[in-house]
Structure 1
Amino acid sequence: MSRKKLVRFAENEVNPNVIQAGKPIFETIKGHWNDSQFQNENPIVVELACGRGEFTVGLGREYPGQNFIGVDIKGSRIWKGSSTATAEAITNVAFLRTQIQQLSEFFGDGEISELWITFPDPFPRDGDEKRRLTSPKFLEMYKPMLKTGGIVHFKTDNTGLFDYSLELVQSRSDIEVLAFTHDFYQSEMKDDHHGIKTKYEKLFSDKGEKIKYLKFRFV
């Protein structure tokens, strides 16, 4: 392991905005994000597979009246977002280091107001469908964590994954599709995101890839 990673991991261990194994709060945070981490009652917004945290931190800047949590398993990636939030004194941003498959161990029923799924691995092979973050398995995991009317946002450059996800949510009687587009930056919805882009979104956009966006909620 490189010295740089070792330094970043050491900083994650002491940064209070990183929740990870080895910290007492890691075992007790479920159902207590507002009182244990943020010390307020503001709505909680979660970004899955947040990577370096550009989007989580960007949302935190724009919406100080909400709490934002980026989830990723890569500690060296989380370090970037954690360090940025610390340097800018953004106190409504935190990061959870865990596998997304274990998300239900960290959020209680109705604890999340909004969920963002941003540029996940598309897992294109049919045999990998269960690993897609918009598969029925994951949708059933998200459902109880979201407040009544809680919104799910999904962005991707991958047409196959987007079409799969859109068809799936449209087929379910317990889901209401609120909006979708196959070309986000040519849609009227683009201004709602304040120009905040993840590293991968910028990469794909610069290559001319059309960004797809889907917004829905469970009913």
Structure 2
Amino acid sequence: MRKKLSRFQDNEVNPNVIQEGKPVFETIKGNWQKDHFNNSKPLVVELACGRGEYTVGLARVYPHKNFIGVDIKGARIWVGSKQAMNEGLQNVAFLRTQIQMIDRFFATGEVSELWLTFPDPRPRDGDEKRRLTHPRFLDMYKDMLSKDGIFHLKTDSTSLFDYTLEVLEQREDILDLIYTKDLYQSPYNNDHHGIKTKYEQIFYDKGESIKYLRFKFAT
């Protein structure tokens, strides 16, 4: 508990963490490039980022882009925040909020890419509306993404992956959909630069295949 409290205190002063209580938390929507990054580089958002392995990993590979990890768990965000600061990565930020409220923090067309990495699959039928690829979430993502913006999903969960494909097949605004049920044996593996989240490594070590898809929304 003491360790967690210490991390929460760090988050209150860490400049790359945006959370409730900081003035910018209420004004950042539509102003990420101007008010936080101080540049016009494209914004890439990782949803359910956990410890930020993907956010930080991609920021290393693509210094010409800005990366924002989103999660509600402050102690987890702290890990990525400190790593980014220790490495001097100025193109990394973390937003602490519920993803259900993501539309309060990004303006229409403000984001060039969205990554959803190993979200809770919510396998029970009664939890369908809480799955982060439910139509109500997809509608929010569509609004956030710029024209030709890309949505990515990585998961070990076959049930979530199949559910997501079913949802996408029912929509008329999905373009350029590609997917694989075994990322590491697919031609898309090199696009991930060997970056693995903590949970991805756990599932991989257990022999689970990693599922991946990406698509664009029609405007």
TM-score bracket, shorter-length normalisation = over 0.9
Query: Which residue of the partner structure matches residue 52 of structure 2?
Result: 53
Using structure 1 for the length normalisation, give the TM-score.
Answer: 0.98
Partner of 1:159: 158
The number of aligned residues is 218
Asked if 1:34 corresponds to 2:33, the answer is yes
RMSD (CA atoms): 0.7
**CA–CA separation in structure 1 for the residues paired with 2:125 and 2:174:** 23
CA shift in 2, pair 1:13/1:89, >3 Å: same
SS of alignment partner, residue 40 of structure 1: coil
How far is the alpha carbon of 1:170 from its aligned partner?
A: 2.2
- The gaps in structure 1 that reach 5 residues or longer are none
Aligned to 2:35, what secondary structure does the other structure show?
Answer: helix
Deviation digits for residues 106-138 of structure 1, max 9, x if unmatched?
000000000001110111111111000001010
**Correspondence for 2:136:** 137
The answer to whether the 8 A contact 1:170-1:176 is kept is no
User: In the TM superposition, what whole-angstrom CA distance separates every residue of 1:181-217 from its partner, at most 9, and x where no partner exists?
Assistant: 0000000110111000100001101110000001011
- The residue aligned with 1:25 is 24
Q: In the alignment, residue 104 of structure 1 is paired with which amino acid?
A: D
| C-alpha displacement of 1:3 | 1.2
| TM-score normalised by the chain length of structure 2 | 0.98
Alignment-mate amino acid for residue 191 of structure 1: N
Q: Provide the identity percentage.
A: 67
1:16 corresponds to which residue? 15
In structure 2, list runs of 5 or more residues that go unmatched: none
Between the aligned partners of 2:157 and 2:3, the Cα distance in structure 1 is 32
SS in 1 for 2:24: helix
Partner SS, residue 46 of structure 2 = strand
Query: Matches of 2:53 and 2:136 in 1, distance apart?
Result: 27
Residue identity opposite 2:155 in structure 1: T
Report the equivalent of 1:90. 89
Regions of 4+ moved over 3 Å: none
Q: How does 1:66-77 map to 2 (within 5 A)?
A: 66-77=65-76
